[in-house]
Chain A
Amino acid sequence: SQQGEEDPQALSIQEGENATMNCSYKTSINNLQWYRQNSGRGLVHLILIRSNEREKHSGRLRVTLDTSKKSSSLLITASRAADTASYFCATGHTGTASKLTFGTGTRLQVTL
């Protein structure tokens, strides 16, 4: 079953604009990760934020985590056409020691 719900399901923006995707989850987490998937390909890890962290940056990516609201957001600044992909949040849970539970994904389209 999917742990997270992502919002919006689809997002279309123009190159240079910022894209914000949100993820909500249901149960306590150890960490939350964001992955990117190009059509028909495997997933690529983008960034990991631990439950005791509130914000993390990596290049043009900014991730926030609010454990009280069980939510996270991914901001991509100055988007490029090459950012067109699906983006998934995935949660890791204390005690499971292994699997990640993925959300339903946001499909981002960046147009020229």
Chain B
Amino acid sequence: DTGVSQDPRHKITKRGQNVTFRCDPISEHNRLYWYRQTLGQGPEFLTYFQNEAQLEKSRLLSDRFSAERPKGSFSTLEIQRTEQGDSAMYLCSSSRRGGTTNEKLFFGSGTQLSVL
């Protein structure tokens, strides 16, 4: 499978615990994005990497959230001290930087987080 893969698909955790999600983008894509989606809403941008550099972060990304993309390949999103409001689908997507900006995004199936 050469698509974007995310792990795990589902995560149930207790409030206050830390969780980490992984995303493997399409191999030739140098741009990687994290989005969050709550029920009945569209995805909301969290952060963006070009290669290993984190170039943009949303105000939604509180200091409890951290994302990394070591070596410009896979990425991890960690949430510390989870809160019930963190319950959402976390979507990873990737794209290839072409001659123009904003190329289409390829999405993974997401990680559904439930904080009890």
Contacts and interface: CB of A to CB of B under 8 A. Distances in A.
* B: contact size bracket: 20 to 34
A43 to B, nearest CB: 4
Interface string B37-51: 000111111001010
A66 to B, nearest CB: 19
A52 to B, nearest CB: 12
Contacts of B107: 35, 42-44
Given A99-B45, A102-B43, A104-B41, A42 B4 contact: yes
Interface in A2-54: 2, 4, 30-31, 33, 35, 40-45, 48
A88 B37 CA distance: 12
| Most chain A CB inside 10 Å of its own CB: which residue of B55, B89, B105 | B105
Interface of B: 4, 31, 33, 35, 40-45, 48, 50, 55-56, 89, 91, 93, 100-102, 104-110, 112
